[in-house]
Chains A and B, each alone.
Chain A
Amino acid sequence: MPSLSELQTGMVAAILGGDDSAAAHVRGAGLPPARRLAVYRNAVRVRLKDALADVYPVLRRLVGDDCFDGIANEYLRRHPPREGWLQSFGEHMAALCADLPVLSGLSYLPDVARLEWARQLAWHSPAVAPLGLEAFAVPPTEQAAVSLDLLPGSTLLPSAYPVARIFEVNQPDYTGDDTVDLSHGSQTLLVIRRDTTVCVERLTPAEAALLTLLAEGETLGQALHAAVSAEDSCAAGELLARHVATGTFAALRVMPAAEAAAPTRNLP
């Protein structure tokens, strides 16, 4: 008689790995033990594949149902769920797509997966009241040492491919021209939840530089400098004001003087 833990280890091997030695402990009345185990194996696979398909509908549409099924099988083999809630299941899909030889000719797929995972993160993140303009009432001497946090669950997604366009034309209700020129549209995207809507926003090079440095914890002074470096003629102050107005930021922090780098530019 196996111990409970031995039996459960065997059952996991049967369900995920196809090792049916646990069948020795299953009653066979009317249906062979291996077939009974298969009921659970199929149920687990269907549930987890459905969970991946819910998170990655565009990836699934791009590769087709059969190929997605194969990807999902490989995903389960490499990254079975570790937690009893499925919101965190699927985070390794981009890395898997980059690693599977069968997908090597589709080098934009990992970024599509990153975009879909970023949408999942944004949806399940806590609601935080966006920072208003009044929060910017900081003494001038401290302005260069200010840092801004993006809303929780936001992702900045740089890509060499027009991922937002790929995402857009692969929505079920899209009816327009669905051609995508993969050589055009290298861009950084901001994936962010505004109230209850997950938004995918295309950023200009200056916006991308501004928000990327802020997301990395750099000071506002450095981030504005990076924005101007990215686009000579950009009005960095207006970009910042626009993102404050649309509610991109969650918190403003005044960093201690020792942590803040030397001011490189005044605030707008």
Chain B
Amino acid sequence: MPALAGIGLRAPHHDPLLVDRPAVGFVEVHSENYFNAGSPPHRALTATRAHYPVSLHGVGLSLGSDTPLADHLHRLADLVRHIEPTLVSDHLCWCAASGVHLNELLPLPYTEEALDLVVARIGAVQDALGRQILVENVSSYLEFSHSTIAEAEFLGAVAERADCGILLDVNNVYVSACNHGWDALAYLDALPAQRVWQLHLAGHQRRSIDGATLCIDTHDGPVAPAVWHLYEATLARLGPRPTLIEWDAELPPLATLCDQAGQAQRRLDQHMGADRAVAV
């Protein structure tokens, strides 16, 4: 996939996108919103696919817990067959346990036990889909005291052992680094660059809680200047990668979203050599 900038597509933008046909490199949707074949959202995505590469980004596989996978995976596989996406991804997190699916991206303890489980789970997903997936680092607001591996090393080990890609969310690196006192540049340096196949950018907010400041991954505004800087550092280290602008809450007009993608594309172009497009 060429190193182009794309936009996250949410339902209110289905029609404007097909009418305006802005020049964005690809669109990305949350897979689970299109699990009902033949429903109006599913038909809108089908129409979109005729004009844009589509990336399917999941929020519910719960790659970090040993919970039933078959039904979710069956629906995802149907959607993948139908849409023929350019990329398929989900998160390095867990969402379900005790028979409950929280529909939230919860952080893992970074232990050998969790690493084995995630690797096996990704293997099962890739076998069922017949293709490689990408796994995204989440933003987090807590760390577990029994973690023994740093997140970037854990993510790299997952990608190497499961033979999958990394979707590096630069905003999430920034948010988690702020919340846990990590060194964001050291995080980038610890990743296996050749495994990073896609980047995410989004807006965040700072909230004061009991006198402490937490960075919250809100996806409700433009990319912050500090995250653009970290994105430039990422491109300098890894080279250009397909980059997605995520903006899910307080959804702006489509043109605002495309302008953010344009800002990412300008930075990508500065790093684009003749042979540096990443084949996935």
Q: Which of A36, A48, A84 has the most CB of B within 10 A?
A: A84
Residues of B within 8 A of A82 (CB): 99-101
A2→B181 CA distance, assembly (Å): 25
Is the pair A84, B103 in contact by a Cβ cutoff of 8 Å?
Answer: yes
Is the pair B36, A44 in contact by a Cβ cutoff of 8 Å?
Answer: no
Q: Which of A27-65 contact B (CB under 8 A)?
A: 27, 29-33, 35-37, 39-40, 43-44, 47-48, 51
Point out the residue from A7, A43, A51, A127 that lies within 8 Å of B43, measured CB to CB: A127
A16→B101 CA distance, assembly (Å): 11
Is the pair A126, B98 in contact by a Cβ cutoff of 8 Å?
Answer: no
B37 CB to nearest chain A CB (Å): 6
Q: Which of A35, A82, A85, A128 has the most CB of B within 10 A?
A: A85
A125→B38 CA distance, assembly (Å): 7
Is the pair A26, B94 in contact by a Cβ cutoff of 8 Å?
Answer: no
Is the pair A85, B32 in contact by a Cβ cutoff of 8 Å?
Answer: yes
Is the pair B102, A12 in contact by a Cβ cutoff of 8 Å?
Answer: yes
Residues of B within 8 A of A4 (CB): 64-66, 108-109, 111, 113-114, 117
A83 interface hit (Cβ, 8 Å): yes
Is the pair A29, B75 in contact by a Cβ cutoff of 8 Å?
Answer: no
B131 interface hit (Cβ, 8 Å): no
Known A30-B212, A31-B214; judge A5-B97 contact (CB<8 A).
Answer: yes
Is the pair B98, A8 in contact by a Cβ cutoff of 8 Å?
Answer: yes
Known A16-B100, A85-B75, A86-B103; judge A39-B38 contact (CB<8 A).
Answer: no
A80 interface hit (Cβ, 8 Å): yes
Residues of B within 8 A of A37 (CB): 142
B144 CB to nearest chain A CB (Å): 5
Residues of A within 8 A of B99 (CB): 82
B265 CB to nearest chain A CB (Å): 31
* 0 or 1 for each of B123-144: is its CB under 8 Å from A? (1 = yes): 0000000000000000001111
Interface residue tally on B, bucketed by range: 35 or more
Is the pair A7, B103 in contact by a Cβ cutoff of 8 Å?
Answer: no
Known A31-B212, A87-B35; judge A25-B109 contact (CB<8 A).
Answer: yes
Total CB contacts across the A-B interface at under 8 A? 135
A227→B167 CA distance, assembly (Å): 59
A1→B145 CA distance, assembly (Å): 9
Known A84-B96, A127-B39; judge A1-B146 contact (CB<8 A).
Answer: yes
A175 interface hit (Cβ, 8 Å): no
B71 interface hit (Cβ, 8 Å): yes
Residue in A closest to B143 when the chains form the complex, CB atoms: A27
A127→B46 CA distance, assembly (Å): 13
Point out the residue from B35, B59, B145 that lies within 8 Å of A27, measured CB to CB: B145
Q: How many residues of A contact B (CB 8 A)?
A: 48
Known A36-B141, A84-B103; judge A196-B40 contact (CB<8 A).
Answer: yes
B160 interface hit (Cβ, 8 Å): no
Residues of A within 8 A of B66 (CB): 4-5
Residues of A within 8 A of B212 (CB): 30-31, 35
Q: Which of B61, B64, B96 has the most CB of A within 10 A?
A: B96
B257 interface hit (Cβ, 8 Å): no
Known A26-B144, A85-B60; judge A7-B35 contact (CB<8 A).
Answer: no
B204 CB to nearest chain A CB (Å): 13
Q: Which of B47-106 contact A (CB under 8 A)?
A: 59-62, 64-66, 71-72, 75, 94-104, 106
Residues of A within 8 A of B96 (CB): 84
Is the pair A29, B97 in contact by a Cβ cutoff of 8 Å?
Answer: no
Residue in B closest to A39 when the chains form the complex, CB atoms: B141
Known A3-B113, A25-B109; judge A84-B61 contact (CB<8 A).
Answer: yes
Q: List 17 contacting pairs A-B, 8 Å CB cutoff, sorted by A.
A: A1-B146, A4-B66, A4-B117, A5-B97, A8-B97, A26-B142, A27-B144, A27-B145, A39-B216, A47-B104, A51-B103, A82-B99, A84-B59, A89-B103, A124-B39, A125-B36, A126-B36
